[in-house]
Structures are given as C-alpha cells and as structure tokens.
A and B are shown apart, each in its own frame.
Chain A
Amino acid sequence: MWKTILRRILIMIPEIILLSILVFLLAKAMPGDPFTGSINPRSSATQIEHLKQLNGLYDPWYQQYWNWVVHLFHGDLGQSYQYHEPVTNLIGDRAINTLWLSAFTMILTYVIALPLGLYAGKHDGKLPDTVIRIYTYVTYCIPFFVILVIGLWIFGYVLNWFPTTGSVSPTATGMWMIGSRFLHVLLPGLLGALFGTVNVVQYMRSEVIDAKNSDYVRTARSKGVPQKAIYKHHIFRNSLLPIAAFGGYSITGLLNGSIFTETIFSYPGMGMLFIDSISYRDYTVITALVLLFGILNLLGTLLSDIILSVVDPRIRVN
C-alpha cells in the first residue's frame, strides 16, 4: 500500500511542474507587468526600460520561470499592486479563513447527507425517500448563488440571526473571538452544506440501494444476520467506500463554492480575494491563487486515491 501511495505522490510532481509552467505562461501573457501601476507616472520610458532589464523581464522565458520558481520556494510570490503588500502575507490570513469555512461546510455536509442518503436508500420508493429526493432535486435546480443570496437576505437581514459580513466581529476578544468566528461561518457553512448535500445524498442513496440488493447482503441474510447488523456491517460500510473516495474530490467543489460564498458574504477568504484581484487586475495575486487552487485540487485527487487504497482491499493489493 505504501508503495502505491508513494508512487501516486511521485506522479504528482510532474503534474505540479506542468501546472506551474502553465500558470506562469498565462501570467506572462496577461497585459501589464510587475511595474504597471507601481511606477511613478512621471518616469521616463528609458527609466522603465532600465528597470525592466534590471528585473530580468527580457530574459528567455525558461530563465524567468526558473527565477519565479526559486522565489516561490522562498515564499516570495511577488507584490500585490493593489494592496502593496507581499502576496504571501495577503493570502496567509485569508487561507485560514477559507480553511475554516470549507472544513465547517464539509463536516456539515457529511453529517447531514450520510444519514439522509442511508435513510432514503433503506426506504427507497417510500414516502421519506420521495421527500428527500424532491429536496435534492429542488436544491439542485436552484443556482448556488441564488441560494446564498436568499439565505443571506432571510436569515441575515430580515431575521437578523446571523452577521452578514466579515469573518469575525471587530470588537471581539479572547474566547468570544472563537465564538464570533464560528457565528460568522455558520450561515455560509449551512447554506454551502445545503447545496453540497445534494450530490452526497444521491450518491449515498444509490450506493445503499445497490448494496441492499447485492448478492453478499443476500448471503448475510441467509446466515441469519439481523437486518440492523446487516445495515451496520455490510451495507453502510460498503456504501461509504466510494463516498470516502469522493471526499477528496469534493475539495474542488468547496474551493469553487468559496468564490461565491465569500463574495456574497463579504467573507475575507481566498475566494473573495480572487474575485477582488480579478476586478483590480492584480495579476500577481491572481497567478498565486490560480497556482494554489490548482495544487489544492491535485491534492484533493491524491487524497481520494489514498483513501481508496486504504479502505478498499481490492486496490490495496495492487
């Protein structure tokens, strides 16, 4: 198993290199350069030219790429034009905020979705199953941002139960700070989970139905295993397997979702930063974020593969 995992990690290295080259070339292709906007407008063309030369902007692309990578390893992702702050600092705080929100959304998603999926699968075709399926279809039909806007309006503005902007109350200190943080992720997390459950519920439901009708469950029944134990030892466990593997991939969904959620809730995370930097053409930030999102996605798939190789004996033994 360790061999498989190690091999899988090694395969990721060329993937990351390829990704970084792509991101770098894209960044190069964008209009402007690191000096646009930060240079004294009265500088002469020759002065600018000199600066560009000094900073290696006329080197061949692979050398520039190499320099960029070396800087990357030193934690230097360049300067933000808009904030005049190193990109690393800028992303650092927001990454933690996004992590908070995403982890909370993910936990909530599975806590809600697994029992619902199991219940629907167990009683497929009956009333509760129909209700759960209608819920998933309806939710699936509404665009995510509409859910967010409506949720924000009802629970944030009309009912005033939750804060509507930010990641923490500016006046909060000490223990209350954690409480305040939690309060701020509660509504976006809940709404995100509401949307995220749709896939997981459907997936879990069909896995349970498959397992329920499988030959090995029939074998278990013929051994005289009570229904409850069959659900616990055979159906639930076997249905969870693809779901667990799916977990890694769902990171991608969470990151994509964070762009909407954070923008609508003015929640200072990576998603909002991304949208902001796009509207301000803050290229260094965009590049860094694209690279980061890309790597996180790769890690997600890696995680899925590892989970699968750990839980499924058929893969474990090659």
Chain B
Amino acid sequence: MEDGQELLELNDISTSFKIDGQYYDAISHINLTVKRDGILAIVGESGCGKSTLATTIMGLHDTDTTRISGQALFDGQDLLKLDDKSMNDIRGAKIGMIFQDPLSALNPLKRIADQISEGLDYHTTMTSDEKHARVMELLSQVGIVNPERTARQFPHELSGGMRQRVIIAIAIACKPDIIIADEPTTALDVTIQAQILDVLRGIQAENHAGIILITHDLGVVAETADEVAVMYAGEVVERGTTEQVFNNPQHPYTRSLLRSVPQGNQDVTHDDLYVIEGSVPSIERMPQTGDRFAPRIPWIPAEAHEENPSMHEVAPGHQVRCTCYQQFYFKSLEETNK
C-alpha cells in the first residue's frame, strides 16, 4: 500500500439525463484521479454537476433515463461497464459514500445498529457477534461517546451531528479504499462541521483511503483537501494542488469565486462583494460548444476564448480550461457600475 498510489482514474466521463425525451449533459468529459491517502476536493456551485459525478461513479443512476460514457478505472476494471450485481460487490465494500442530509439518508424505521451492519451482511461473512463488535468499533471511531446506546436508537432520536457520524460509520463499515463524501457538513453547525472534518481526517489516517470531497465551501476545501478540481456548468475548469488553485488561481471562474468570499476587512455599509454577472445556465440551456463561462465575463474579447476549450498545463499538475485566463482581468469599479 504505497502512498499516493492511484486508486481511481476517471477518463472522459460524461453523464446525460433524459428530460422530456431528450438527453442533456449534466457533466461533460471529466478527467480526474483519486490517490491513496489523498483528499481530492470537487468544488462548485449548485448545478455544476459535482454530485452527478459522485453518483455516476457509484452507479446510482436509473439506467433508463441516464446515459453515461467514459471510463472509471478502479482495481483493473471499468466501473461504468459493470452490471448491477458486480457493482453491488464494490459499492459499500470498496467504495463508500457519505451523503449530505443525514436525516433523510437514514431509514426512519430501522435502528442505527441495523443500518450500519447492513453493509456487513452483504460484504463479509461475520457472525452476528462479530458484526455487533464491528458496529461498536465504528461508532467509537466516528466519535460517538455511548455506542451501545446509540446503536439501539432510531435516527430521529439523534442530533444532526450524531446522524452525520452514523452516516460516516455506514460508509466506512467495510473499510473501503475510496470514500466519496457529498457535502458531508453542509447541514451542520460550524463547530460540528469542524468535528466531522476531523473525523474524516482521522479515518483517512487509519484506513489509508482516498477521499473525494464534494463541497461548495471554499473554506472547507482550503483546510482539508490535497488536490482540488473546480467545476462549472458540468466541466472541470481548473485542477491542481490546493496550494496551486488557492494561491495562484488561473481560471476566471476560480478567481471570481474566490473574490466573492466575504473578507471582513470591508466597510459594513459601503463595500460590496464581487458579483459574477449573469447566472448558471440550466441543464437544458447549457451551451455545448465554446467556453461555457464566456457569457459571464462579456468584457473579455471573444478571441480570447478557445473554440473547443481544452485543459492547459500552467504548472506541473496545475491545469486550466480554455486560453481566456491569459487575458482575463477584473472589471474596475467604474466599469461595473456602468
């Protein structure tokens, strides 16, 4: 088990959904790698396709209304080619998933212990005593003080933070190689968020898993991730190490996003935040050619954009979509107010 070993390789993944009889791309041509012991953050605003990417890897889409292309290479096989049965041997066992809303993600009628051990039922040959012991071990590992008691409770009897811990325990029950965490702290208070992120880091140190952290919170990314992929309108627009992307952002979207974070040194009545013009196009109206971010930076001349934007390496491991970053500048205040 070497550090930094490539666990999952996503090659040119596109997923489209059927809406009113027609297919529309939710994500297009995604290329990413997940490494052992690494946290890859996928960051973007709602509708950018980051959750679709997660559910695509997990094979959780309804095949009747979804079209998927590309490759997700894991352990020598392409996950996207596996049938439901073979995928069930991987889901929960090799790849675990942590969901956003901890209340609705748990079955309201089942005890916590049963929900955690359910994965063990299908992936291990443990006896019921062994399973019980494992459930206790997991609950302690995610920082639950009284595991015996919690195991017997129902989801509605727990607080939001406790439920999220249970969700994590479910995801790591079979010590998966990869953990996909989809907005794991969005529904939680900041102090609980800090604790949950600590739990995630602790688990990684113990299990040496690779983590895909999906979030819209740039702060969470800056403090947790090793590598970052920024997504906009279904595409990755910038990727690199966290230092590269945060300290030396290149893509206009990354730069705009970082600029709209409230800083706290501004005047409370007069200083405004940076606003990105326009809005994210809906999936049906997503432009299929050209730079999808171009309409939101109209002051940048059209020639600056590539016709078919591709990723450009600006530093080893640091890539940016389209060439427009070279000519991008922020509008001055006078220009904005015009």
Direct A–B contact present (CB less than 8 angstroms): yes
Answer whether residue A264 sits at the interface, using C-beta atoms and an 8 A cutoff: no
Which of B150-185 touch A at CB < 8 Å?
154, 156-157, 167, 170-171, 173
Task: Determine the distance from Cα of A221 to Cα of B54 in the docked complex, in whole angstroms.
Answer: 13
Residues of B near A14 (CB, < 8 A) are none
**B122 closest partner in A (C-beta):** A224
User: What 1/0 mask marks residues of chain B from 104 to 124 whose CB sits below 8 Å from any chain A CB?
Assistant: 111111000001001100110
User: What 1/0 mask marks residues of chain A from 286 to 318 whose CB sits below 8 Å from any chain B CB?
Assistant: 000000000000000000000000011110010
Task: Choose one: B88, B108, B156; the contact of A225 (CB below 8 Å).
Answer: B88
A225-B88, A314-B156 known; A216 and B119 CB under 8 Å? no
Closest chain A CB from B174 CB (angstroms) = 8
Task: Choose one: A218, A226, A313; the contact of B60 (CB below 8 Å).
Answer: A218
Answer whether residue B53 sits at the interface, using C-beta atoms and an 8 A cutoff: no
Query: A241 touching B109 by the CB < 8 A rule?
Result: yes
A226-B85, A317-B157 known; A220 and B108 CB under 8 Å? no
Closest chain A CB from B55 CB (angstroms) = 8
Answer whether residue A8 sits at the interface, using C-beta atoms and an 8 A cutoff: no
Task: Determine the distance from Cα of A317 to Cα of B155 in the docked complex, in whole angstroms.
Answer: 12
Answer whether residue B90 sits at the interface, using C-beta atoms and an 8 A cutoff: yes
Interface size class of chain A, counting residues whose CB lies under 8 Å from the partner chain:
20 to 34
Which of A119-166 touch B at CB < 8 Å?
none
A215-B101, A221-B91 known; A313 and B122 CB under 8 Å? no
Query: B107 touching A220 by the CB < 8 A rule?
Result: yes
Residues of A near B97 (CB, < 8 A) are 219, 222
Of B88, B157, B167, the most chain A CB neighbours within 10 A belong to B88
Answer whether residue B96 sits at the interface, using C-beta atoms and an 8 A cutoff: yes
Residues of A near B122 (CB, < 8 A) are 223-226, 229
Answer whether residue A50 sits at the interface, using C-beta atoms and an 8 A cutoff: no
Answer whether residue A64 sits at the interface, using C-beta atoms and an 8 A cutoff: no
Can you give 8 A-B contacts (C-beta < 8 A)?
A215-B99, A220-B118, A222-B60, A222-B91, A224-B87, A224-B88, A241-B109, A312-B109
- The chain B residues found within 8 Å of chain A, CB to CB, are 58, 60, 84-85, 87-93, 96-97, 99, 101, 104-109, 115, 118-119, 122-123, 154, 156-157, 167, 170-171, 173
